[in-house]
Chain A
Amino acid sequence: MILVLVMLLAIPAVAPAAEPAALTPHWSVEVKGGFFYPDIENWKDFYGDDRTGHYAGSLAYKLFRQLEVGIESGYIKDRGRAYAPLNALITGNVVYEVVPVNVFVLIRGVFSETQWLVPYVGGGWTRMYYREKIEDQATVRGSADGVHGRAGLQILLDNMDPHAAHNLFTDYGIYHTYLFGEVQVMDVKVGTPSINIGGKSYLAGFLFEF
């Protein structure tokens, strides 16, 4: 299985890529969405599910084809309940929002501009802004620093429809379009004793190189 994957990575696409694919773009933008699994115990008791939506976008610059640096911002939101300690009840409404801002370095396993599958791995610094809107009470807000790591696989779409890829280049200057899936892990500790408000995200999206 691994051997097959390595072969796939190494073999350039059979179909000729769109004309601009021969060039090596530096910039890329990605938009993605998926699920965020908070690394907080008993999350499900308060929010009804062990996951919530995670939407993000990033801008990256490729120093060279295998190494890129960038910045990413996301948005995570869930609606749940609060805790009434004197009554020992889960009650009241809370809107929990998190905005992670990641600065990252990414290593991509790309050896050809027409390579079908591109694995990547990376990580970096995270600043997590949080806000908790509590029914009838003041909003809690703050931020904390942490780290994150991410790994995924990009699938080059240009070869599936070279005509469309060509149009994307001529109309918008987009050299390559990838569909990708990734796993992202954030570790951001807050308070004493500390709570990790990070977690694990499973994301999918599109990446445009220009």
Chain B
Amino acid sequence: MKPSSLHSLFYALFTAVVLLLPSPAAAITRVVAQTSGQCPPVTATTICYLSFQDAITNAAASGDTIEVLPGTHSVVNMTVNKSVSIYGIETARTVLNGGGSGTILTISGVSASMSIRNLTFASAGTAIAVQNSSSIDIRNNIFEAGTSSTAISVLASPTTRIFNNTFYLNGNGITSTDTNLNIINNAFYQISGATAISPIVTLPAIKNNLFFGGTIGPLVLTVTSMPFSSDPYFSNVDWKGNISTLDPLFVSTSSTDVTLRDFHLLASSPCITAGDTSVGSNNVGDLSGTDIGAYGGQSDRIPNIVSAVSGVASASTGTITDTITLSWSPNNAYTTKGYNVYYGKDTSYTGADAIVSGVTMTSPIDVGTAVSVILTGLTTSAATPSAPVLYAPEPRNESLVLSWSAVPGATNYILSYNLASAPSITFTVDAGKTTSYKLAGLANGTLYTISVIAIAQDPYYLAVTAYDLASLAGDPGVQDESDYSVVQKVYVGTPGISGPSNSVQGLPEVLVPYPNLPNTGCFIATAAYGSHDASAVRLLRKFRDSRLLTNGPGRAFVRWYYEHSPAAATYLNEHPALKPFVRAALAPAVAVAIVTTQASPLALAMAALILIALTALFAYRKRSRRTYQPLGIKP
């Protein structure tokens, strides 16, 4: 055989062997979502799951990554024994909740490198337990396991690296049996008496962390729990880059909702660029340094959502409303560089007609660091709705329950009503978009005439995002820009107004329950005056109905009185000798009832004048006594 033939044969064999060899499986990204609507399209390398457990224990192979989408995921006693990296899309809103006990994640027997990052661990006995593993990175996470819980427990896993995490109010920050862990750039915000790191580990491995005892006590550290060479108490020791006693100055920890706490740093935080750069420089903020805490180093690059957004329409020319004033609370993270305002006639935010400061702006509008913006020139074209049909009202005590037919396109309904005896004086009420309304504050026994009109206006939808890098804005919730704020739906433009509906008449009145039972033994006055129909009792009842039940404090008093009067009335009935005294005590109340329910406005004014005069006279006499007495002269 010729050498060339041998060469050809060898080449053919080699090719065949290469083709027949199984190709290495491609790493798969396994996405954990809360709803199928969150899932990305499934591809050869991307698969979506609705359960964290399904993604990890039932599917993942070494080398895969687990991508957890924002939401609160219940994860209890999950064991990971393959090298799968687990990361959240947005640290603050991607929560693994342990339900208060047990261990959220146990990393056991993993020797290849893997990382756990950009997640919030909440409510667990232990958030993460690392056992018999090596090369595990735990970084850029937030730990809120609980004030009696442990955030991270490390057992026989000496090369574990724990860096750029925020530990907030945990019983124990890190417990370990190993002596050479790397604990770097973490912020420990502990309550007094809680332990940040236990037990002592090799000194060089703990560096550039911040330890703060919160507002309750002085400091979380003890000389046995931290390797400070000198007394760290109140000393703001800077040793190996570690910082003690200084408040890390997070943006906001006040919310009770774990997903609404913002552990980004305020501009004056001592954590800014105080970290060790060996684990990576910041990817947002000050790129030349490394911040301490969950958002330092290579963090998730998504600012927290803008909160407290309000959108208000205002009239700019006569009755035509084409202007929206949008405002929001600032995102105080020092990395926030500005805000984008998204607007449009639906939540795809494709608006292109808003005028800001005289310039027509397409959505999104970059407003820089401003926290409000006025959009004008918003155009709408609402069609005139048809008139609704108003049904017969249902009478109630001092109110009427109204209902009408829904009108397509109507955005709200305006009720008009007047006393049948005075049709020229009309009152209006905006009933909103509902098709029923309780018209309150009416007089019993008075006939009212009511009609309703439908209003149609077009809404604009608005939302705000914060960004930390302006040039990459336009992709909310993905990178360098927060997800949308709460959407504001604001109606603007010239409204389409229907003609009035049919008119109906209603007569509010006191309802009679069935069966109509006597209200026995519940009123002190009834007991004192001996009869439910006594004139004084009738007056007090009228005072209750016309003066107390017409306002909130009055109704509260009546409720309180009804709760407590039966016992007093019973006692009074059992001790009739007390009735004259109670009647005397009730006399002022009866007088007030007479004045307020029977008297004319002139008589009321006269009564007020007399009361003022009597008060002044009383004060004068009292003052005169004080003047004379020291001199021993009787007034």
- Give residues in A with beta carbon < 8 Å to B: 40, 42, 46-47, 80-87, 89, 91-92, 94, 96, 130, 132, 134-144, 190-191, 195, 197
Contacts and interface: CB of A to CB of B under 8 A. Distances in A.
Interface SS of chain A: strand
Given A141-B566, A142-B522, A143-B520, A91 B513 contact: no
Given A91-B394, A140-B519, A85 B513 contact: no
Contacts of B512: 82-85
Given A85-B509, A135-B511, A141 B395 contact: no
B515 interface: yes
Interface residues of B, number: 28
Contacts of B522: 141-142
A94 B520 CA distance: 18
A138 B556 CA distance: 11
A137 B510 contact: yes
A136 B513 CA distance: 12
A142 to B, nearest CB: 3
B521 interface: yes
A197 B515 contact: yes
Contacts of B397: 134-137
Interface string B502-523: 0000010111111111111110
A138 B511 contact: no
Contacts, number: 97
Contacts of A132: 513, 517
23 contacts: A42-B514, A83-B516, A84-B511, A84-B512, A86-B445, A87-B395, A89-B394, A89-B395, A91-B394, A92-B394, A92-B395, A92-B396, A94-B513, A134-B513, A135-B396, A137-B549, A138-B549, A140-B518, A141-B519, A141-B522, A143-B520, A190-B515, A195-B517
* Most A CB within 10 A of own CB, among B396, B399, B544, B549: B396
Interface in B575-616: none
Given A138-B558, A141-B522, A82 B513 contact: yes
Interface in B399-438: 399, 401
B510 to A, nearest CB: 6
Interface in B522-575: 522, 544, 549, 558, 562, 566
Interface SS of chain B: loop
B517 A190 contact: yes
Contacts of A140: 513, 517-519
Contacts of A144: 520
B458 interface: no
Contacts of A141: 519-520, 522, 562, 566
Nearest to B396: A136
A186 to B, nearest CB: 14
B514 A142 contact: no
B451 to A, nearest CB: 19
B322 interface: no
Contacts of A87: 395, 507, 509
Contacts of A47: 514
Given A82-B511, A85-B509, A92-B511, A142 B520 contact: yes
B483 interface: no
Nearest to A137: B397
Contacts of A85: 509, 512
A15 to B, nearest CB: 49
A197 B511 contact: no
B395 A86 contact: yes
A197 B399 CA distance: 30
Given A141-B519, A142-B521, A81 B395 contact: no
B366 interface: no
A190 B396 contact: no
B398 interface: yes
B445 A96 contact: no
Interface in B34-75: none
Contact of A191 (B511, B517, B544): B517
Interface string B83-127: 000000000000000000000000000000000000000000000
A40 B507 CA distance: 28
A189 B562 CA distance: 23
Nearest to A131: B517
Contacts of A142: 517-522
